[in-house]
Amino acid sequence: MERYGDYLFNYAIVRVTDADVAADLVQETFLSALKSLDRFEGRSSERTWLTAILKRKIFDSYRKQYQSRSVSTGEREMDISDEDYYKQAAPFRGHWIQGKGPHTHSLLPEGELEQEELMEIIRRCISLLPENLATVFVMRMMDETESEEICKELGITPSNLWVMLHRARLRMRECLENKWLT
């Protein structure tokens, strides 16, 4: 616990973004590990073994988070043309809504950014995403999970996944742009 507590917490926190949830997952990991201690054969290092358990827990939490929200995911939300960002009426159907498209030259902050500040802003932006978008964004971008695996875990089709990632990127981009400006 002393040796791996912080390591596991760091592993969890970039993936679930909520510190309390991350700490709970670490606790569950230690308890599960303890229960299955006799099955640990020492073929991998303790750290690898604990990380594998934690990873399983994180995936379970993604799935729970996703399922609790997916009831409200309608057909409309699966449309490529996100109505929060693009005009829906002719003759400019599909064009950016004024002010919702990019307006700065670069998304990168001017000057050096403290690591902590970056972490804080990215976490804020993820927490502002609708929860199901946050789940796929974190799984794909933070955890670098293969797309097939995400679809399998969450029970969605690849085209659902691509649209959701697109919608998440639209919002993350906008959030980052606005954060640097303020």
Partner 1 sequence: MNGKFMEFMSKRMIACDQASYLISLRQDQPIGCRKEMQLRMHLLTCHLCRKYFRHVKQLEQLVDQYREAPGAKTPAFQLPEDKSTEIRRAIDEASNVK
Nearer to partner 1 by Cβ, of 58 and 165: the residue is: 165
Residues 33-92 that bind partner 1 (CB under 8 A): 34-35, 80-82, 85-86
Please state, in angstroms and rounded to a whole number, the distance separating the CA atoms of residues 72 and 155: 15
Q: Which of 164, 98, 101 is nearest to 137 (CA)?
A: 164
Please state, in angstroms and rounded to a whole number, the distance separating the CA atoms of residues 78 and 70: 12
Which residue among 14, 21, 78, 151 contacts partner 1 (CB under 8 A)? Answer: 14
| Residue 136 contacts partner 1 per CB under 8 A | no
Per-residue x/- marks for partner 1, 101-120, CB under 8 A?
A: xxxxxxxx------xx-xx-
Nearer to partner 1 by Cβ, of 94 and 155: the residue is: 94
What SS3 class is residue 89?
A: coil
**What percentage of the chain's residues is helix, strand, coil (to nearest 5)?**
65, 0, 35
Which residue among 46, 47, 52, 96 contacts partner 1 (CB under 8 A)? Answer: 96
